[in-house]
Amino acid sequence: MGTTVFERQPTDRDVVVASLADTVLKPFWLDDVEAAERLTLAGDIEADLAIVGGGYTGLWTAVQAKERDPKRRVVVVEARTVGWAASGRNGGFCEPSLTHGYENGMSRWPDEMDELERLGIQNIDEIERTVKRYGMDVNFERTGSLTVAVEPHQVAQLTGDSVMDAAAIQARVKSPTYLAGESDGGATALVHPAKLAYELARVATELGVTIYENSPVLGLAAGPVVRTAQGAVKASKVVLATNAFPSLLLRNALMTVPVYDYSLVTEPLTDAQLESIGWKGREGIADMGNQFHYYRLTPDNRILFGGYDAIYHAGGKIKKSYEDRPESFELLASHFFTTFPQLVGLRFTHRWAGVIDSCSRFCAFFGVARAGSVAYAAGFTGLGVGASRFAAAVMLDLLAGEETERTRLKMVKDRPLPFPPEPIATVGVNMVRWSMSRADRNGGKRNVLLKTLDAMGMGFDS
């Protein structure tokens, strides 16, 4: 079996260790935001719409619910604080795709792909308009993104209109690992993820939404009633926006598995260091392969470098202790300097991890329960910054009982296949991870297990 470029051109261990020596275990983005004072839910209240979860999905639902009907009484009930989870610690790639990439969508809903692409662009344009309308300070940069091939077999997988050869892609961003690349034509935007969550919360509050924090919802009673340890909301409608966390609906218990994704951020680059890598277009970048890295410049010219390892911890639990995984951070640091050897000596300042809600179709699924009074969306599988706004609109359509261009989609009506229960899930996920890693070292060739899962429309991704 072959190797990857990151193994053929490894970084000296001393360089890796020194680069990580002073990191703090904290999402870099949270340094730039200040928490607002918010109430804890206490006592019994009533609302027209109760939203469980204060990440992008819940907050986009709150904002759009108020925009559709300003008189509606809307509350958000959040277990901890707004944006503390995936929404405050992601890469900030706000991509138009609603289907976790074109190929994944095409393999599942070929007849709908034109429509899904159109709705995806419309969604990101709406995000941009919302940012402008409310003066949201979220460092929204419509830079576009680059996909880069770093192995010979990946070059052949680039088939779009804007493929660049090695010289052309290296003229954009100087990495000796790049063999070819492709631009998305400027569709993707980059955002400051934590600011996006905080600004959505600010806008929702200004529109009249009440956000309760430190109020974990323990159950969903008939009514529907959203119940916490100290209070309850009796609502006409409920939205569940709980992402990778245990669903309040039994039917969704096996629909997602929590997968940990790891990230590093460097200290700010000097002008000379920036000059050495080019990257004048500030595009978001992802390399190819089943295990891939994503990276971008921050507003203050650091480099965020994340991905590659997608770790499912046996038992499928979410635990703070899983966020510090030295072997994943060392791997990322090593791959970073393989990508940019001219930056050896640069130090990382922050290391962190977050949980992704992986589902077997790799993009969000939707539905209603309790006679149409409860709507849910989950399963973004690592691509929810843009898609969460679309998911919020779908849930509001479903609760209104309206047939819209969104609710007519097969992509919205279909449900993914569930994962098997534990302990089979752990064995299965690890076999798939091993197979994907093997394919990356084997010219992209997929083994029998991956081909079988492909044929079933099922898989595991980050």
Ligand X SMILES: Cc1cc2nc3c(=O)[nH]c(=O)nc-3n(C[C@H](O)[C@H](O)[C@H](O)COP(=O)(O)OP(=O)(O)OC[C@H]3O[C@@H](n4cnc5c(N)ncnc54)[C@H](O)[C@@H]3O)c2cc1C
Residues making contact with ligand X (CB under 6 A): 52-58, 77-80, 84-87, 89-93, 95, 216-217, 241-245, 261, 263, 306, 354-356, 380, 382-386, 388
The minimum distance between CB 45 and ligand X, in angstroms, equals 15
CA distance 322 to 87: 18
Which phi and psi angles does 37 have, rounded to 5°? -75, 125
The minimum distance between CB 394 and ligand X, in angstroms, equals 13
The alpha carbon dihedral of 138, 80, 306, 120 has a sign of negative
End-to-end CA distance of the chain: 24
List beta partners, residue 350.
24, 265
Longest pairwise C-alpha distance within the chain: 64
Nearest to ligand X of 105, 273 (CB atom): 105
List beta partners, residue 307.
293
Q: Edge-to-edge strand order for the sheet containing 293-297?
A: 24-25, 348-359, 256-266, 303-311, 293-297, 284-287, 145-149, 180-183, 163-165
Instruction: Name the closest residue to ligand X (Cβ).
Output: 384
The minimum distance between CB 120 and ligand X, in angstroms, equals 12
Question: Closest Cα partner for 202 from 69, 33, 394, 384?
Answer: 33
CA distance 242 to 260: 16
Residues 6+ apart with CB under 8 A from 236: 47, 48, 49, 373
Nearest to ligand X of 217, 269 (CB atom): 217
Quote the Cα angle for 457-363-191, to 5°. Answer: 150
The minimum distance between CB 399 and ligand X, in angstroms, equals 17
The alpha carbon dihedral of 198, 199, 204, 208 has a sign of positive
Nearest to ligand X of 15, 461 (CB atom): 461
The minimum distance between CB 315 and ligand X, in angstroms, equals 18
The secondary element (H helix, E strand) that includes residue 126 is: helix 113-133
Nearest to ligand X of 60, 178 (CB atom): 60
Nearest to ligand X of 28, 340 (CB atom): 28
The minimum distance between CB 167 and ligand X, in angstroms, equals 28
Nearest to ligand X of 90, 123 (CB atom): 90
Nearest to ligand X of 75, 436 (CB atom): 75
